[in-house]
Amino acid sequence: GEKVEQHQSTLSVREGDSAVINCTYTDTASSYFPWYKQEAGKSLHFVIDIRSNVDRKQSQRLTVLLDKKAKRFSLHITATQPEDSAIYFCAASPSNTGYQNFYFGKGTSLTVIP
């Protein structure tokens, strides 16, 4: 089955700097890649996603890049703010399961230092 690796367990940046979180996946059938944010004591909520028919998607300060050849995708946060501090989870969902299955990375704890 699919295996999603999220290589950084923690990441610290200064307020206003950019943060990049990287993930890799193994299953070539994966074609949907959402990102979720989990703030302290709270549940996961969706922040941005990318489908395999594009290699870049931007939403305000968030950009997701997808490199299908390398089976790698990344979340870029520009002009970071203290409220961006949270655990970020990447996920991959294979099309051959009807997108039923979601495989999550282990999470990256982002700290934005004021």
Partner 1 sequence: ETAVFQTPNYHVTQVGNEVSFNCKQTLGHDTMYWYKQDSKKLLKIMFSYNNKQLIVNETVPRRFSPQSSDKAHLNLRIKSVEPEDSAVYLCASRTGTGGAETLYFGSGTRLTVL
In the complex, which residues of this chain contact partner 1 (CB under 8 A)? 31-32, 34, 36, 38, 42-46, 49, 51, 87, 89, 93, 95, 98-102, 104, 106-107
Please say which residue, 43 or 114, places its beta carbon nearer to partner 1: 43
**Closer to partner 1 at the Cβ: 32 or 76?**
32
Residue 14 or 51: which CB sits closer to partner 1?
51
Beta-strand ranges (E) seen in 1-114 are 5-6, 10-14, 19-24, 30-38, 44-51, 56-59, 62-67, 72-77, 86-94, 103-104, 108-113
User: At residue 84, what is the residue type?
Assistant: D
